[in-house]
Amino acid sequence: MIGIESSQKSNMPRHILLINGPNLNLLGKREPHVYGSTTLDDVIATVKSQALELGVELETFQSNHEGAIVDCIQEAAGWGPTVKSDEIKERKKVSAIIINPGALTHTSVAVRDALLGVDIPFIELHVSNVHAREPWRKHSYLSDKAAAVICGMGAFGYKAALEFAAKHMEVREDKR
């Protein structure tokens, strides 16, 4: 929700999950002419510092495996195969997700279904401008359900996504 008044800030995300998909561990090394020279460790250090300034908790996760990402999304809602029933009440629920799904953007119905299943608002993020690249990169299984899509801003896109999530995304009523 854009233009939120300060009186509504209690309804803003307080615990945000940043998920990075396949090959994003290679940021700064893989095709720097496309993705830049900033590493994923640099990105995470920057957004963790920003999260402190914004007063939000930031949890980060990266995997090259689709199933691990699906598990992480489910666990964000207190579900998933590694969450024991006695942990569900104690685990802090994630109120917003920022996801750079990498190549899974164009192929993964499983990631889409997981995001829709947990009903946590999410931002789709890409370092490169996927619309200025190969035709097959223009299709996303996530964009039509995302609260926002950020692409082509390089590593700065992570900062933009976190600020948007912290200041402009309204948290849905907890149904979990």
Residue-range domain boundaries for the chain: 38-56+99-170
* Average pLDDT across the chain, whole number: 85
- How far, in Å, are 1, 58, 112, 163, 165 from residue 6 at the CA level? 13, 21, 32, 15, 15
Q: Which two tokens stand for residue 82?
A: 């590694």
Neighbours of 73 (CB within 10 A): 27
23 is in an annotated binding site: no
Mapping DSSP to helix (H, G, I), strand (E, B) and coil, where does residue 34 land?
helix
- In sequence order, the 6+-apart residues with CB closer than 8 A to the CB of 150 are 123, 124, 125, 126, 157, 160, 161, 164
* CA terminus-to-terminus distance, the chain: 22
More confident residue, 161 or 138: 161
Do the bridges between strand 122-126 and strand 96-100 make them parallel or antiparallel, or are there none, so unpaired?
Answer: parallel
Catalytic residue among 33, 35, 65, 168: 35
42 is in an annotated binding site: no
129 is in an annotated binding site: no
Query: What pLDDT shows up at residue 174?
Result: 52
pLDDT of 134 strictly over 80: no
Catalytic residue among 126, 139, 158, 168: 126
- In sequence order, the 6+-apart residues with CB closer than 8 A to the CB of 113 are none
Catalytic annotation present for 139: no
pTM (2 d.p.): 0.84
| Residues 72/106/97/66 CA torsion (nearest 10 deg) | 10
Q: What is the DSSP letter of 91?
A: S
Alpha carbons 118 and 27: distance in angstroms, whole number: 28
pLDDT band at 139 (very low <50, low <70, confident <90, very high): confident
Q: What are the tens digits of pLDDT across the range 84-131?
A: 655 554 556 899 999 999 999 988 999 999 999 999 999 999 998 877
Neighbours of 60 (CB within 10 A): 16
25 is in an annotated binding site: no
Query: What pLDDT shows up at residue 131?
Result: 72
Catalytic annotation present for 158: no
Please give the CATH number for the structural domain made up of 38-56+99-170.
3.40.50.9100
Query: What pLDDT shows up at residue 10?
Result: 57
The percentage of the chain sitting over the pLDDT mark of 90, rounded to a whole number, equals 62
